[in-house]
């Protein structure tokens, strides 16, 4: 067994592409090795600013030998058949074939042993193909090189069992040398294997493992902060990005001038994070500290003083702009900026942002009445929720929309609940983002998302495949989470219709749009619940009733259904239901008629017993469902198991007596009808 070491060294690879690039490299090489009978005991690839590194251990030094058998004609077959077989099998004489006794007589077989190729030969093909197939989001050409890759290549290390594999890609031939840190150790390094490679690079100021770089940054930055009584504000996204920017991380602390400390913390954090990749720090009380963390990629004689000073100058210039916008924006009330939203297009067919704002005011007022929120306050929050898009600060820092609206609303003495609703109406932005929980925030957030959903569906701009340019899947999931996490009783069809009514002049079939959006919600709900272990077919079964658009009630119904079907009574009743529904469907199709109505003479005691059981629970089940006592409804359905089992065991539905057959088919229709009050059991799998 031997080891493969592969390093692709290039100009700086964008941080966001490194992890995926390493994963794709490992996948491509791993799949090809397996296909060639050379599966490694362990295989892993990692990415860094200037290199992708792959190590595959436990590889055999050659492919296993393989045996290929080919069945030929029967002994005594015509000469032409024998000649054709020998030619295909590469035989010069039929005596070279084996004769085997088969059930239909004796047949010729050729057996050829194919010797496995040396691994080093196969690796050349595998690595070159993998490098050519790496699916970078963006690639480029350089110089006169015809090959496209993420960045210009400088060198390739490819060693198998310590020897160079003669790989060539993008006019670069593989060898056994690499280089260390661009400035601290640019000399060539000769490596023998993975352990030697990692150790020598570390001596040359390169930490190969991303996890180790992350640990160094987190540990050393935390130590520097703790020494000054501070702590680093958690920012997993920034940390993930920074480990892809440095090969030799050196955490340092800089200072924010006091002149900028009255600027909102979110503004300073955005300025530091987005543009400069700085880490924000907090005091013991949790307040924003006047210090920031910067991760250098250099070791300097002055212990980073010049680096810190340079970064402080850059940050000061950046924060000067932020402070200017902060001071200037507060000179006029947030409400005065609403009319400027007329200058911003929401969507060509759906009007301007001002048009959307007017719709939100109307819809928020309606939702507030349903959800017991302050209608006047909800309308005020809806009016102001997009106004900060017209401010200089949001123009410079778009990620702060909503956040700045809150600050400006508070400055204008708007009620705190209105200000909070402005900040939170975009939430939740993703599956891990917190949902609004305050009444006004809930109302405005729902209004914003419902307005977008019905509007885009009305103009047929729906998500297709992986494309969702208007983030409608996220909006629908946001509505679902807000409703379920806050246990809101909101009939969705009525809400869709009211939202659509706000689009003056937009010709759309309200029922058609509502049906399509509700189907879209059903798909999103299945995804949401699948992650919580709820089967998608249970959701489909309840949605298929066609009347259920209250998500809280729907989930309660699904939970009760799941519990019922997990019991023996439920599982057996499902089997009986499907049997009844299948027989009914087949016979109705054959007879070209529907069997419904009152049931007469069934001609069998067991059939009449089942009819009595159905009559006894039909109205009570309907009453339980109406009162949302779904568990009780399921318990009553469970009583059908015994009479249904006896019926199918003792009674023939398609009886010789034509009258009995008709009445028994009507009985099956009643079974289906009673059960389908709870959910459409035909949608349930299994």
The full set of domain ranges for the chain reads 2-62+118-203, 69-114, 210-329, 341-533, 562-683
Q: What is the DSSP string of 344-370?
A: SEEETTTEEHHHHHHHHHHHHHHHHHH
Beta bridge partners of 534: none
pLDDT digit string (tens) for 544-589?
A: 887 788 899 989 988 888 888 888 888 888 888 888 889 889 988 9
pLDDT digit string (tens) for 374-401?
A: 999 999 999 999 999 999 999 999 999 9
Please state whether 399 falls in left (phi above 0), alpha (psi between -120 and 50) or beta. Answer: alpha
Written as six digits, the tokens of 476 are 């629908």
Question: Which residues, 6+ apart, have CB-to-CB distance to 31 below 8 Å?
Answer: none
For residues 628-656, average pLDDT: 88
pLDDT at 313: 95
Q: In this model, does residue 127 exceed pLDDT 90?
A: yes
pLDDT at 186: 94
pLDDT digit string (tens) for 520-543?
A: 999 899 888 888 888 888 888 888
Q: Distance between CA 320 and CA 328 in Å, rounded?
A: 12
- Class of residue 392 by CB neighbours under 10 A (exposed 0-12, middle 13-18, buried 19+): middle
Q: What angle do CA 406, 410, 412 make, to 5 degrees?
A: 120
pLDDT at 663: 86
pLDDT at 191: 97
Q: Classify domain 341-533 at the CATH topology level.
A: Hypothetical protein af1432 (1.10.3210)
In this structure, the number of other CB atoms found within 10 A of the CB of residue 584 comes to: 21
Between residues 103 and 353, the one the model is more confident about: 353
Q: Distance between CA 409 and CA 334 in Å, rounded?
A: 6
Phi, psi of 535 (to 5 degrees): -70, 140
Q: Distance between CA 431 and CA 438 in Å, rounded?
A: 19
For residues 481-508, average pLDDT: 93
pLDDT digit string (tens) for 128-177?
A: 999 999 999 999 999 999 999 999 999 999 999 999 999 999 999 999 99
pLDDT at 676: 87
For residues 667-681, average pLDDT: 87
Q: Which residue has the tokens 């492919």?
A: 63
For residues 479-487, average pLDDT: 95
Written as six digits, the tokens of 291 are 């210090």
For residues 355-373, average pLDDT: 96
Beta bridge partners of 201: none
Q: Distance between CA 461 and CA 455 in Å, rounded?
A: 9
pLDDT at 194: 96
By DSSP bridging, strand 172-175 and strand 153-160 are: parallel
In this structure, the number of other CB atoms found within 10 A of the CB of residue 88 comes to: 11
pLDDT at 170: 95
pLDDT at 686: 67
| DSSP annotation of 537 | H
Categorize the per-residue pLDDT at 269 as very low, low, confident or very high, splitting at 50, 70 and 90: very high
pLDDT at 499: 95
In this structure, the number of other CB atoms found within 10 A of the CB of residue 577 comes to: 22
For residues 336-349, average pLDDT: 96
pTM beyond 0.85: no
Give the three-class secondary structure for 263.
coil
For residues 35-55, average pLDDT: 95
Q: In this model, does residue 37 exceed pLDDT 70?
A: yes
Q: In 3D, which of 316, 330, 417, 406 has the Cα closest to residue 373?
A: 417
- Asked if the 2-62+118-203 domain carries CATH number 3.30.70, the reply is yes
Phi, psi of 660 (to 5 degrees): -60, -40
pLDDT at 206: 97
Strands, sheet with 66-74, edge to edge from the N-terminal-most edge strand: 66-74, 105-114, 98-102
* CATH placement of domain 562-683: 1.10.730
């Amino acid at each position: 067994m031997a080891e493969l070491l592969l390093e692709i060294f290039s100009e700086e690879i964008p941080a966001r592409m490194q992890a995926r690039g390493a994963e794709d490299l490992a996948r491509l090489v791993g799949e090809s090795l397996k296909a060639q009978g050379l599966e490694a005991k362990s295989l892993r690839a990692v990415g860094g600013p200037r290199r992708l590194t792959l190590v595959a251990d436990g590889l055999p030094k050659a492919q296993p030998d393989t045996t290929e058998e080919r069945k030929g004609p029967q002994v005594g077959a015509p000469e032409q058949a024998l000649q054709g077989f020998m030619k295909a099998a590469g035989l010069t004489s039929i005596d070279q074939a084996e004769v085997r006794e088969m059930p239909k007589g004796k047949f010729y077989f050729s057996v050829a042993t194919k010797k496995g190729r040396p691994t080093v030969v196969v690796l050349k093909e595998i690595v070159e193909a993998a490098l050519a197939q790496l699916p970078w989001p963006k690639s480029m050409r350089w110089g006169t090189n015809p090959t496209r890759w993420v960045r210009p290549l400088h060198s390739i290390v490819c060693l198998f069992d310590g020897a160079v594999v003669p790989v060539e890609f993008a006019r670069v031939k593989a060898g056994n040398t690499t280089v260390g840190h661009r400035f601290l150790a640019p000399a060539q390094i000769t490596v023998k294997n993975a352990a030697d490679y990692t150790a020598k690079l570390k001596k040359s100021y390169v930490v190969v493992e991303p996890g180790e770089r992350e640990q160094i940054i987190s540990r050393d930055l935390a130590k520097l902060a703790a020494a000054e009584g501070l702590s680093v504000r958690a920012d997993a996204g920034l940390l993930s990005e920074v480990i892809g920017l440095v090969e030799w991380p050196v955490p340092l602390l800089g200072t924010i001038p006091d002149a900028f400390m009255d600027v909102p913390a979110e503004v300073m954090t955005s300025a530091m994070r987005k543009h400069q990749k700085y880490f924000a720090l907090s005091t013991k009380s949790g307040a924003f500290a006047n210090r920031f963390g910067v991760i250098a990629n250099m070791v300097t004689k002055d212990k980073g003083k010049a680096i810190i000073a340079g970064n402080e100058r850059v940050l000061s210039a950046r924060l000067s702009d932020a402070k200017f916008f902060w001071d200037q924006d507060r000179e006029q009330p947030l409400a005065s900026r609403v009319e400027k939203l007329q200058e911003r297009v929401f969507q060509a067919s759906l009007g301007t942002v001002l048009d959307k704002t007017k719709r939100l005011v109307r819809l928020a007022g309606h939702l507030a009445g349903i959800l017991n929120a302050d209608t006047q306050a909800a309308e005020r929050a809806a009016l102001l929720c997009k106004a900060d898009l017209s401010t200089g600060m949001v123009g410079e820092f778009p990620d702060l929309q909503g956040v700045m609206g809150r600050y400006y609303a508070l400055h204008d003495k708007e009620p705190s609940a209105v200000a909070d609703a402005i900040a939170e109406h975009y939430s939740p932005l993703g599956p891990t983002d917190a949902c609004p929980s305050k009444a006004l925030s809930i109302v405005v957030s729902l209004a914003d998302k419902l307005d977008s959903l019905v509007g885009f569906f009305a103009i047929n701009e729906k998500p297709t495949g992986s494309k969702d340019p208007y983030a409608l899947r996220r909006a629908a999931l946001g509505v679902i989470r807000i409703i379920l996490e806050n246990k809101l009783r909101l009939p969705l069809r009525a809400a869709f219709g009211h939202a659509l009514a706000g689009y003056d002049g937009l010709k759309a079939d309200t029922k058609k749009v509502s049906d399509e959006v509700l189907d879209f919600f059903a798909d999103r709900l299945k995804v949401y619940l699948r992650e919580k272990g709820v089967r998608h077919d249970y959701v489909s079964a309840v949605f298929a009733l066609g009347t259920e658009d209250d998500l809280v009630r729907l989930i309660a119904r699904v939970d009760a259904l799941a519990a019922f079907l997990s019991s023996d009574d439920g599982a057996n009743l499902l089997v009986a239901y499907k049997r009844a529904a299948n027989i009914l469907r087949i016979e109705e199709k054959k007879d070209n008629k529907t069997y419904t109505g009152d049931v007469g003479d069934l001609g069998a005691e067991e059939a009449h017993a089942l009819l009595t059981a159905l009559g006894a629970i039909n109205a009570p089940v309907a009453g339980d469902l109406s009162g949302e006592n779904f568990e009780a409804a399921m318990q009553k359905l469970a009583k059908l198991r015994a009479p249904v089992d006896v019926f199918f065991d003792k009674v023939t539905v398609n009886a010789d007596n034509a009258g009995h057959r008709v009445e028994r088919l009507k009985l099956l229709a009643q079974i289906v009808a009673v059960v389908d009050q709870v959910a459409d059991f035909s949608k349930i799998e299994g």
